A = this chain, B = another copy of it.
Amino acid sequence: MSGDGYYAVIFSSQRTAEDNGYEDMAARMVEIAAAQPGFLGIESARDPGGAGITVSYWRSLDDITRWRDHSNHRDARRRGKQYWYDSFSVRIAQVIDERSWPPAPNESGSVQEMR
């Protein structure tokens, strides 16, 4: 996969204290995203204090746009602003280099490993 060029959506957020169905929504969004064309993988981490980063990886910008416009995703974003997030930022970036440690047995690193 290295060198082909693929894209990352870096979502960093600060959660509110309330749940209001957040965990269910988050699990469901990962499930739906993973079924979209061009989805390559997702990684996520959140501090106990509520600061979180999720990075999803996609084959193309068109795949990212299609997922952005998905009705379930739109609905989740609307509720996100209403209930779940104090603030967030979204960055779209083109991956130009990657490596992993320990190295994968057959190549220098692949997003597939993370799925």
Which residue from B54, B89, B93, B102 sits with its C-beta under 8 Å from A93?
B93
Cβ contacts A95-115/B at 8 Å (1 or 0 each): 111111110000001000010
A-B contact pairs, 7 of them (CB 8 A): A12-B43, A45-B52, A87-B102, A89-B98, A89-B109, A91-B98, A94-B96
The B-contacting residues of A in range 50-100, CB under 8 angstroms, are: 51-55, 81, 85, 87-100
Interface class of chain A by DSSP: strand
Interface range, A side:
20 to 34
Whether, in the assembled complex, A36 has its beta carbon less than 8 Å from a beta carbon of chain B, the answer is no
Whether, in the assembled complex, A21 has its beta carbon less than 8 Å from a beta carbon of chain B, the answer is no
Pair A99/B89 contact, Cβ less than 8 Å: yes
Pair B90/A12 contact, Cβ less than 8 Å: no
Whether, in the assembled complex, A47 has its beta carbon less than 8 Å from a beta carbon of chain B, the answer is yes
Give me the interface of A with B, judged by CB distance under 8 Å. Answer: 8, 10, 12, 43-48, 51-55, 81, 85, 87-102, 109, 114
Cβ–Cβ < 8 Å partners of A45 in chain B: 12, 45-47, 51-53
Cβ–Cβ < 8 Å partners of A93 in chain B: 8, 93-96
